[in-house]
């Protein structure tokens, strides 16, 4: 046991977060995200019983966001004409504001298929049980 480590972070995920260097990216995918196919060249970590907000909050307690890019956090854009609402994005922005002074300004969006291409380049992909649609997040690591 370690003190100060959020209990939701498994030893496997802690190892991955520690291995990652500046500019490496990690994807937190919702329950519909194709984690295994997008993560063919990455480390895939299964966290099916958890939602993205609780995982995001735990990771950001330890994980510095990249200060040298405009948007170290990127969300998957809603497809034009898709009537989906994304209130979970507001939750993400609140969580990010707790750990990064840029708050919502640190968050960008990437078109859906471009998001998939970026996800294929990630160091790791976390597969969650999140049921919200368009709840996928890419985090880019900074320095401390």
* Residue carrying structure tokens 């990064």: 100
Is residue 111 scored above 80 in pLDDT?
A: yes
Q: How many CB atoms lie within 10 A of CB 139?
A: 27
What is the domain partition of the chain in residue ranges? 11-78+87-121
| Catalytic residue ranges | 22, 66, 116
pLDDT of 44-76, one tens digit each?
Answer: 999 999 999 999 999 999 999 999 999 999 999
The model's confidence at residue 2, banded by pLDDT at 50, 70 and 90, is confident
Could you tell me the pTM of the whole model?
0.96
Q: Write down the CATH number for the domain with range 11-78+87-121.
A: 3.40.1650.10
Q: Phi first, then psi: what are they for 81, rounded to 5°?
A: 85, -10
HEC string of 114-131 equals HHHHHHCCCCEEEEECCC
């Amino acid at each position: 046991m370690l003190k100060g480590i959020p209990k939701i972070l498994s030893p496997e995920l802690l190892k991955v977060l520690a291995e990652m260097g500046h500019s490496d990216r990690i994807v937190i995918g919702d329950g519909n995200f194709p984690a295994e196919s997008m993560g063919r060249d990455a480390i895939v970590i299964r966290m099916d019983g958890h939602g993205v907000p609780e995982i995001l909050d735990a990771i950001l307690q330890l994980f510095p966001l990249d200060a040298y890019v405009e948007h170290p956090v990127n969300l998957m854009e809603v497809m034009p004409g898709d009537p989906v609402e994304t209130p979970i994005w507001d939750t993400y922005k609140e969580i990010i504001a707790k750990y990064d002074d840029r708050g919502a300004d640190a968050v960008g969006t990437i078109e859906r298929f471009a998001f998939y291409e970026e996800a294929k380049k990630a160091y790791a992909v976390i597969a969650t049980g999140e049921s919200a649609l368009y709840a996928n997040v890419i985090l880019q690591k900074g320095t401390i």
